[in-house]
Amino acid sequence: MITSIVLIKTDVDRIPEIAEQIAALEGVSEVFSVTGAYDLIAMVRVARHDDLAEVIPGRISKVPGVASTETHIAFRTYSQHDLEAAFAIGLDS
């Protein structure tokens, strides 16, 4: 699974509607409304690198109101949730 973090600048008057449209796209797992230089952050999870091109410039960038995107591809995932699951293997009480 390839995970990418997409930083999105939008038409600020339409953030909720744009976020909902992006969240409904195949390959998008979550969309967050955030503070700072960007308006939204989308988590994109796909099976192949080629799929990123379909989801990000092919779908997200074409949502009306999306002004620009910046994409970061994750190398590894570090999560407290993942660590707890790994250490809990075989420790049924």
Closest among 23, 53, 59 to 40, alpha carbons compared: 23
Q: Per residue in 25-83, pLDDT tens?
A: 999 999 999 999 999 999 999 999 999 999 999 999 999 999 999 999 999 888 776 55
Q: Specify the pLDDT at position 76.
A: 87
Dist. CA 17–CA 13, nearest whole Å: 9
Quick one: fold of 2-87? Alpha-Beta Plaits (3.30.70)
Q: What is the dihedral of CA 67, 72, 77, 78, to 10 degrees?
A: -90
Q: Where are the domains of the chain?
A: 2-87
Dihedral sign of CA atoms 53, 55, 61, 63 in order: positive
Helix (H) or strand (E) holding 49: helix 49-55
